[in-house]
Amino acid sequence: MSITKKTFGQTKDGRQVDAFILENSNGIKAKIINYGGVIVSLDVPDKSGNIADVVLGFDDMAGYESDANPYFGTVCGRYANRIANGRFSIDGEEYTLAVNNGPNALHGGLAGFDKKVWEAEIAGDSVVMKTISPDGEEGYPGTLSVQMTYSLSDDNALKIEYAATTDKKTVVNLTNHSYFNLAGHNGGSVHNQLIQINADKYTVVDDASTPTGEFRAVKGTEMDLLELTPIGKNIGAVQGRGYDHNYCINQAKEGELTLAAKVVEPVSGRTMECWTTEPGVQFYAANYVENITGKGGAVYNPQESLCLETQHYPDSPNHPHFPSTELAPGETYSHICIYKFGAEKA
């Protein structure tokens, strides 16, 4: 496995952004920048050895800093996904966040971790990125020290390891928001790609995609993805514009690395497994990606990609029966996410 470092560009305010290219012996290559920890490109061979870049994104910093960017490839935090009404309480003290998604606070706020230039360095076979979020940033309590470690193995696994500590009780929920299309980033509709999600239930949401607190069984419904299923089979019957729901992963043990989901692209044979230590995974079918010009002039549209965002459940601070996202001084938040690639022969 090799890692090289190159200059990617500059932010609008003149900060240098670097790209780290991780490459293994099987032709898989990941380009990751220290602006938002973004996975810019991910080259993966198919069953015939043909390489395609399987993540959506932009060619330059102007794209990643534009208002049109729907979190392509980035880390989301301090709190990934939604917090209802931008409010939560810890030990009776209420905290108020920016509301940036209907009635919800989404993905850390107006200037979340996706907009930070992280300190980054090559450490052995990994790229390590660090940042400090000061007390009160985006309304969250506590000074949070965060580290992400990216590595690529020769068994074709791209691993992201998150760690965080705080000096005051707070809430933390981090994820990666890559948009995948195993036919290639410009491969068109994902309706014929197959997905399997290892979850017997999901968290029910209202029309603003805010969790109601209810769990519902997937069996026999349009949400049932327990077996490999074409993404387009039932998507028209799904609430809202399509899949954008948190699935509760069937974990044998809390915090244990578990297979959350598998995706198969039947023409190329490319496969992707998503493994995580988190209790949930948000399956999002890119329903709101409309007419966005991305890499190489490709135009991205709804349901031409998918996200598998490993996470704690949305709005957990407001639902005590959900797995807790609270982090106290002396504790360490940790989270592993692995995207593992393969190619199935016809």
Residues designated catalytic? 177, 309
Quickly list DSSP for 5-19: EEEEEE-TT--EEEE
Pure H helices in the chain: 61-64
In angstroms, the Cα distances linking 297 to 53, 62, 185, 293 are 14, 14, 11, 6
Using only the alpha carbons of the chain, give its radius of gyration. Answer: 19
SS3 call for 208: coil
Q: How far apart are alpha carbons 176 and 19 in whole angstroms?
A: 17
Quickly list DSSP for 47-67: TTS-EEE-B---SSHHHHTST
Strand partners, 131: 146
Q: How far apart are alpha carbons 142 and 144 in whole angstroms?
A: 6
Q: Hey, what are 308's tokens?
A: 């598998």
> How many other C-beta atoms are found inside a 10 Å radius of the C-beta of residue 144?
25
In angstroms, the Cα distances linking 100 to 37, 138, 160, 292 are 21, 12, 27, 20
Phi/psi of residue 210, nearest 5 degrees: -95, 130
Torsion, Cα of 197, 343, 242, 78 (10° steps): 70
> How many other C-beta atoms are found inside a 10 Å radius of the C-beta of residue 66?
11
Non-local (6+) Cβ contacts of 330 within 8 A are: none
